[in-house]
Structure 1
Amino acid sequence: MDLTRLAIISQKEFSDHITSKKLILILIIFCLILAVETANGVASYNEALEKYANGDSTEIYQPTAVRVFLGIVNAIGVDGLGIVIGLAFGFDLVSGEREDRSLKTILSQPLYRDELINGKAIGGIVALTLITLAGFAIVFAVMLILGIVPNINEIFGIGIIWFLTLLLIITSFSLSLMTSVIANTSSGSLILALVIIFITLLVIPVGGGALGTYILFGSPPEEPTSNLVSYAEYTSYQEMQADYNKVSETVQDFCNFFSIRSVYEEITIPITSPSSYIIEKVGLGEFFSNPDSAKSVGEPTFWTIIKDKWIKVIVFITWPVLFFGIAYLRFMRSDLR
């Protein structure tokens, strides 16, 4: 692989993305949604800060400026904006050139296949980086205009959220690049990408937990219905139910690994809302019975959150590598005649 040719291809792909009407449209939609969510986030942050100062808040710790990004994280991850952007960028990168028969012409030049696929990936990633940087720059500008000036730690937290957001979009982009290599047409590539997204985001996380628990551990224990049941029998049922729920949560957590949206949410939400993260860690029942139990844990830092979620971080990084690896191998072995 020649690095000079790789740089030329990457630059061409980046230029094609930047000058395309698709990117301009995506950039406008992305920035508009981020601007709206920022305005809502600023209002929510100011309200939470006021309640905390008056002692009327359920927040354990004083809300930080990173809380402004709570709605943005929901829009990008939960609502699927980041996934849509990634799919739009990559679904026709290879299949589109295969359809208009320009792919064989390109490869007839003194050019290796790995240079072409790597160049397409690099050009797309650089373009996506530019889009996310522009969007977050607008968010930061709106925050400053509205009188919220983050400190160094908060800026660092915003940087982590930006990186995770970029990684989510790159994961979706790698998926669409993979389907673009596999499918012969752009429409087939998009349909295949949507099917994979549907399975990984909805079918496995929603149905996989319950089905997996039933297959591995059977039905949940039946609650005694007789009024004459002894205290020991009812206590035994409660213990079995608690064990079953714990196993079910473990299976469900494993199934959530297949959803990039769930993993993104589980990593970013603790950063934007550390109080909720600590309450969940302590346990909702324990917190309401003893509110001081959450404070005894100590205020989480960005590093402690990442350390606690390190498995999710590894899974999050693995997804784009896996998708691109499949795309790379398939492209190197595909018959382009």
Structure 2
Amino acid sequence: MDLTRLATISHKEMSDHITSRRFLLILVITCLVLGIAAANGVNNYNNALESYKNGEVGFLFFPSVLRAFGEITNSFGLYGLGAVIGIAIGFDLISGEREGKTLKTILSRPMYRDELINGKAIGGIATIGIISFLGFLIVVAILLILGIVPSLDEIFLIGVIWLLTMLFMAYSFSLALMSSVLAKTSSGALILSILIFVTLTYIIPVGGGAFGSSLLLGAEPSDSSYNSGSQFQKDSFESIQAEYEQKRLEIHDFFNMFSVRSVYNNIASAITLPSHYVITEKIGHVDFALNPDLAENVEKPTFWEIIGDKWIKIIVFIMWPVLFFSVAYVKFMRMDLR
């Protein structure tokens, strides 16, 4: 593989993307959505400040400006903006060339197949980087206009959130690129991308969690036989029920690994909402509700503590785009162009 040719192909792909009407439309939609999300995020931040000053339960630490970015990550992950951008950029990279009968012409020039697919991938990811960077730049500009100035640590964490967002968009992009290699037409690649995304994001986590719980744990314990029993029997039932719920959550967490959207929001929310992260994952929501004093001496988690706690999910987060691109690469290298 010649690096000069790879750089040339990557530059051309990125130029084709950023000069297209599709790029302009995606950029405008992204800026509008993130502008609205930033306004909602600032409102949430101000409300959190007021709630913290009033000593309301659930606000353990002084609210950070990162709370405003909770709406940004929701827009990219929970509401699907990141997936839409990634699929829109990558679904016709190879299938479009095949439909236009230009793929054989391109490969008849002095270049190798790996240079072409690697160049298209680099150009597409660079385009995604530009879109997401401009979107985050607009959010930071809105914060500065409103008089909210992030500290150096917060700027670092904003950069981390942007990197996580880039990885999530790279996941959907690599999924679309794989579909573009597997399908013969752009419409087929788009449909295949959506089907795989919906299956991994919704069907497997929801259906797999419910089926796995039913198969491995059976029916949820019933308290009908304990209502008239002694206090010891009632305490035993509560213990059995808590153990069942814990195992059920572990099964659902396993199947949620198939949903990169869930993994992305889970990691990002630990950074943007540290109080919620500590209450739900460190202390336990039920235990905190029964005894809020459990959080009295808890310190705010650092970035590295969050990374140490989420390292398995971070590996899964990186694994999926690598897996999709590997499938696309192997298939493209063996593709029959006759």
When residues 52 and 222 of structure 1 are mapped into structure 2, their CA distance, relative to the original with a 3 A threshold, is: closer
Output the CA distance in 2 between the equivalents of 1:125 and 1:118.
Answer: 11
Rounded to whole Å, the distance in 1 between the matches of 2:288 and 2:239 is 21
| Residue of structure 2 equivalent to 1:101 | 101
Distance 2:150 2:96 in 1: 44
| Structure 1 spans left out of the alignment, 5+ residues | none
Deviations 1:265-285 (A, max 9, x none): 100011111011111120122
Contact map agreement 1:93 1:120 (CA 8 A) in 2: yes
Hey, what does 2:157 align to over in structure 1? 157
Do the aligned residues in 2 keep the contact of 1:224 with 1:234 (CA within 8 Å)? Answer: no
Where do 1:239-250 residues align within 5 Å? Answer: 239-250=239-250
TM-score, scaled relative to structure 1: 0.96
Residue in 2 aligned with 1:81? 81
Contact map agreement 2:132 2:162 (CA 8 A) in 1: yes
Corresponding residue for 1:206?
206
Aligned to 2:31: 31
| Unaligned segments of structure 2, at least 5 residues | none
Q: Which residue number in structure 2 is paired with residue 326 of structure 1?
A: 327
Q: Determine the structure 2 residue equivalent to 1:171.
A: 171
Q: In terms of mean alpha carbon deviation, does 248-257 or 217-226 score higher?
A: 217-226
d(CA) in 2 for partners of 1:295, 1:314: 33
Query: C-alpha distance in 1, partners of 2:141/2:46?
Result: 17
Contact 2:226 2:237 in 1 (8 A): no
Equivalent residues in 2 for 1:114-125 (5 A)?
114-125=114-125
Aligned partners of 1:57 and 1:234: how far apart in 2? 29
Q: Which string of whole-angstrom CA distances, capped at 9 and with x for unpartnered residues, describes residues 114-171 of structure 1?
A: 0000000000011111111111111111100000000011111111110000110010
The question of 1:224 aligning with 2:224 is answered yes
- Aligned identity (percent) is 56
Give the Cα–Cα distance (whole angstroms) in 2 for the partners of residues 16 and 55 of structure 1. 54
User: What does residue 45 of structure 1 align with?
Assistant: 45
2:322 matches 1:314: no
Deviation at 1:105, TM superposition (A): 0.7
Greater mean alpha carbon deviation, residues 295-304 or residues 123-132: 295-304
The amino acid across from 1:76 in the alignment is F
The Cα shift of 1:228 comes to 3.8
Residue 248 of structure 1: how far off its partner (Å): 1.0
Q: Distance in 2 between matches of 1:51 and 1:217?
A: 40
Which AA in structure 2 matches 1:40? Answer: N
1:199-254 CA-partner distances (Å, limit 9, x unpaired): 11111111111101222232223332475434444443333322221111111000
1:257 aligns with 2:257: yes
CA 1:242–1:56 in structure 2 vs 1: closer, same or farther (change >3 Å)?
closer
SS of the equivalent of 2:71 reads: helix
Q: Report what 1:12 is aligned to.
A: 12
The one-letter code of the counterpart of 2:268 is T
2:291 aligned with 1:287: no
Structure 1 Cα separation of the partners of residues 192 and 286 of structure 2:
43
Question: Which position in structure 2 is the counterpart of 1:65?
Answer: 65
Cα distance in 2 for residues equivalent to 1:151 and 1:227: 55
AA matched with 1:290? N
Deviation of residue 264 (structure 1)?
0.4
Deviates more, 1:308-317 or 1:239-248: 239-248
Cα contact 2:226–2:233 (8 A) shared by 1: no
- Which runs of structure 2 are paired with 1:295-306 in the superposition (5 Å)? 295-306=296-307
1:166 counterpart SS class = helix
Structure 2 letter corresponding to 1:320? P
Deviations 1:55-76 (A, max 9, x none): 3463110101111111111111
- Measure, in 1, the Cα distance between the counterparts of 2:34 and 2:135: 7
Task: Tell me the amino acid that sits aligned with residue 21 of structure 1.
Answer: R
CA RMSD of aligned residues (A): 1.4
Q: Which amino acid aligns with 1:327?
A: A
Which of 238-247 and 112-121 deviates more?
Answer: 238-247
C-alpha distance in structure 1 between counterparts of 2:237 and 2:286, whole Å:
19
Q: Answer yes or no: is the 8 Å Cα contact 1:11–1:123 preserved in 2.
A: yes
CA distance in 2, matches of 1:299, 1:334: 52
> Residue type matched to 1:17 in 2?
H
What code does the residue aligned with 1:246 have? Q
- Compared with structure 1, are the counterparts of its residues 25 and 227 closer, same or farther at alpha carbon in structure 2 (3 Å cutoff)? closer
User: What is the CA distance between 1:289 and its match in structure 2?
Assistant: 2.9
Q: 1:4 to 1:252 in 2, by over 3 A?
A: same
In structure 2, distance between residues paired with 1:146 and 1:227? 57
**In structure 2, how many angstroms separate the alpha carbons of the residues matched to 1:140 and 1:31?**
12
User: What is the distance in 1 between the residues matched to 2:314 and 2:286?
Assistant: 28
TM-score (normalised: structure 2): 0.96
CA gap of 1:251–1:56, structure 2 versus 1, over 3 A, is closer
Amino acid corresponding to residue 51 of structure 1 in structure 2: S
What secondary structure is seen at the aligned counterpart in 2 of 1:258?
coil
- Looking at structure 1, the residues matched to 57 and 212 of structure 2 have their Cα atoms a distance apart, in angstroms, of 39
